[in-house]
Structure 1
Amino acid sequence: INDLSEKLVDKYNEREKEFQRTYADIGNKISQLNASSAKVRSQLISERKSHSESQRELEAKYTTEIKSLKSNIKTLKREATLAQKASFDDKIQILSLEVKVHELEVGGLIDEPAQINSSEMDNPKEIDSLKLELERANEDLNSKKA
């Protein structure tokens, strides 16, 4: 019986050691898994931070670009309005000059440029000046249209 009892105790001790080794292996694997999990969690947090920073940088960049484009649009609209006003002013000036030329022609100051006599030399100069101004205004208008 003692022999059998010793064999059973030896077998029990052997199984106890095997259990302790298995338990220690499981503990090591749990520690490794916890370390890996912490590492992956840390990487994920780092990637999220990096992504958030990149996202904020892109948003800031695009916001700045959008503001710049909106400012350019306002500037171009103002320039277009000013150009339209200048064109309108030029048209008014042309019409005004045409009316002055017509008034001078119809008013009997000149019928034909060849019929100007020496007593009317001051008015023909004014007429020529007005015609020249009219031609320049027309040229300006045409160059703006082109």
Structure 2
Amino acid sequence: MSSDFEAYEQDFGTLTAEITNKIGRIPKLAGEEKTQLVLNVDKQLEEVRELLEQMDLEVREIPIQSRAMYNSRLKSYKQEIEKLEKDFITSDEACAEKPGYLHVVHVHREEQVQHSRLSAVTSACATLFTFLDILADSEELLSGEELSAVI
């Protein structure tokens, strides 16, 4: 288990280094190139959040005697991401003050939220329809058993 966590740590280090580099470049760019870099950083931050979720799941599987050490490392990684997100927001806001800058990232984030909500509703509907199918099958079986008991 800890080898998986350590592999995630390597991925985390690589991603955060790339993000840090790109955040530093954002204020120096303009136009479409800046917009694409901002979108790319936003996407990579989402990847890092997902990676942290995987790391959290791995920590839960580690034996209790070793878990505290991994929890401590995970906590520091989460703090590092919070700092990167603040730096990104600050960089994005600094860019937004310049004339002509589009808030494409904010629109992209809203689309992600809407997509997530739609996925949750779709999943809930699928679960409901499965339940209704099971209920209908159960009713058919029960009515069939009642008929054979009467005959």
Q: Same fold (TM over 0.5)?
A: no
Q: TM-score range by the shorter chain?
A: 0.3 to 0.5
- TM-score when normalising by structure 2: 0.35
Q: Which has the higher contact order (CA 8 A, sep 6+)?
A: 2
Greater Rg by CA = 1
